[in-house]
Amino acid sequence: MSDPAYHRHETRHFPPGFLWGIATAAHQVEGGNDKNDWSRWERVPGRIQDGSVSGLVIDHWHRYEADLDLCQELGNNAHRLSVEWSRLEPEEGRWDGESFLHYADVLRAAHARGLKVMLTIWHFTLPTWFADLGGWESPRALELYIRFVREVARRLGDQVDFWCTMNEPNVYVSQGYLSGAWPPGVKAIVRSQLVALKLAKAHRLAYRALHEELDSPEQAFRAQVGLAQNVLSIEAYDQHSVLDWIGVQVIDFWWNHLYHTLTRGCHDFLGLNYYFHFRLKRFNWPPTSFFVEVRRERRDTSDVGWELNPAGIFRVLKDFERYHLPIYITENGLPSQNDDRRKRLIVATLKETYHAINSGVDVRGYFFWSLADNFEWEKGYVAKFGLCAIEPVTLNRIPRGSFSVYREICRANGLPHEMLRYIGHAVDQPYEPLATGVHAQPDDEHPKP
């Protein structure tokens, strides 16, 4: 019989003030905008897997109050969202006052519900006029982006607690300039790397611009500026293959660390989006079959085949500890029609995060992707990422079971022991006095049949 003294039944608490939130992005939830490169891209048949266009999406533009109510109901104390550049600057150099006012209302509504705001300035979509100039390849790209950044800072800056200058530049470059699955649909290695370098420069400039616009002269106030970067955990399938080990180092550096190396000194915090774990097998060229097809091994995967590997976040967090900066998990989630998977993923990922914090990593917040099913880029509406489903036609938000799981965690600022049952750790049944008047003994190492 196990010794109950070794078995902790209390909540695994996160540090006081830990941020709990939801992450969203404008184009994926707002709806009703046809002024960016994505709304044009979607209209070409064959580009979106389910043949959909984003359209009204979930009409967050009009329903943001109700959505923020749901975040409050979750017990959140923070919220990550993005502004849509093409709404704020629909034509080059013309600022749309009404859209700025709209976002000011949204940010105020978030604060009114006790949510700190993390604002992403650029989350994948570009105004069509900017795309037509050549997008990030335009010689004017940096000047135009920084002008936009400054305008957002001046008009919305007093309502923002944390800034992400951009979202996942590595994903943007690989989807837009390597695989060509996203606009501008280019497949060219050299061009892709030139854009990557330009985005690193854009971040450095935006970092400085935000500090210039927002910091008080005597530095009594300093803006908190970073970005949200996609990070992956990767391991060699065969631990003894030197070539694969080298492959892991190369991919890890290129995907996880190159951007941070190019932007060193321009982060007040690190924003990490964690979704992926890869097992590298046969490091060769061309890189067509680098990775093990984990479905063959019957591993837990999302609906689109990504391996679900919560333990990977521990490795990633330990790895990023080297930058000595506060870390926010700016996105984590999965596309799954099976909500049990979502519950499991949330609990298991947060348990690993808890261990990382206890091992000394300065993790300060977690933002789940996302509140409700939404428009998942080239996958359209088939990928279900939401704590809430969306009812067709009415667009009503229908909370799933995972909504309650996340709510319990946020409200407790930690993982109630009870929650561990989702990851195969049995817990006491509700306390029921036995007929003899003797209470059942808690012994969750030996669950009663």
- The full DSSP string for 147-201 is HHHHHHHHHHGGG-SEEEEEE-HHHHHIIIIIS--STT----HHHHHHHHHHHHH
Determine which residue in the list 192, 230, 302, 349 makes contact with ligand BGC, applying CB under 6 A.
230
CA distance 221 to 164: 18
List the x/- string, 251-290, binding to ligand BGC by CB under 6 A: ----------------------x-----------------
Determine which residue in the list 30, 42, 67, 168 makes contact with ligand BGC, applying CB under 6 A.
168
Q: Are 343 and 368 in contact (CB under 8 A)?
A: no
Determine which residue in the list 56, 104, 109, 171 makes contact with ligand BGC, applying CB under 6 A.
171
167/349 with CB nearer ligand BGC: 167
14/306 with CB nearer ligand BGC: 306
Determine which residue in the list 85, 162, 369, 422 makes contact with ligand BGC, applying CB under 6 A.
369
CB atoms within 10 A of CB 67: 24
* Nearest distance from C-beta of residue 167 to ligand BGC, angstroms: 5
81/280 with CB nearer ligand BGC: 81
CA distance 308 to 344: 10
Told to check if 331 binds ligand BGC by CB under 6 A, we report: yes
CA distance 409 to 14: 10
State both tokens at 20: 């709990």
- State the sign of the Cα–Cα–Cα–Cα dihedral 420, 353, 376, 61: positive
170/263 with CB nearer ligand BGC: 170
In one-letter notation, the amino acid at residue 146 is I
CA distance 9 to 307: 30
* Nearest distance from C-beta of residue 159 to ligand BGC, angstroms: 22
* Nearest distance from C-beta of residue 372 to ligand BGC, angstroms: 12
Told to check if 376 binds ligand BGC by CB under 6 A, we report: yes
CA distance 370 to 334: 9
Told to check if 307 binds ligand BGC by CB under 6 A, we report: no
252/331 with CB nearer ligand BGC: 331
Told to check if 167 binds ligand BGC by CB under 6 A, we report: yes
Told to check if 122 binds ligand BGC by CB under 6 A, we report: no
* Nearest distance from C-beta of residue 331 to ligand BGC, angstroms: 6
Based on the number of CB atoms within 10 Å of its own CB, is 436 exposed (0-12), middle (13-18) or buried (19 or more)? exposed
Determine which residue in the list 25, 149, 202, 270 makes contact with ligand BGC, applying CB under 6 A.
25
Among 180, 209, 210, 208, which residue's Cα sits nearest to residue 195? 180
List the x/- string, 74-113, binding to ligand BGC by CB under 6 A: ----------------------------------------
* Nearest distance from C-beta of residue 256 to ligand BGC, angstroms: 14
Residue showing tokens 């990633």: 316
76/273 with CB nearer ligand BGC: 273
Q: Are 168 and 199 in contact (CB under 8 A)?
A: no
- The full DSSP string for 89-114 is SSBTTB--HHHHHHHHHHHHHHHHTT
Contact set with ligand BGC (CB under 6 A): 25, 28, 167-168, 171, 230, 273, 331, 369, 376
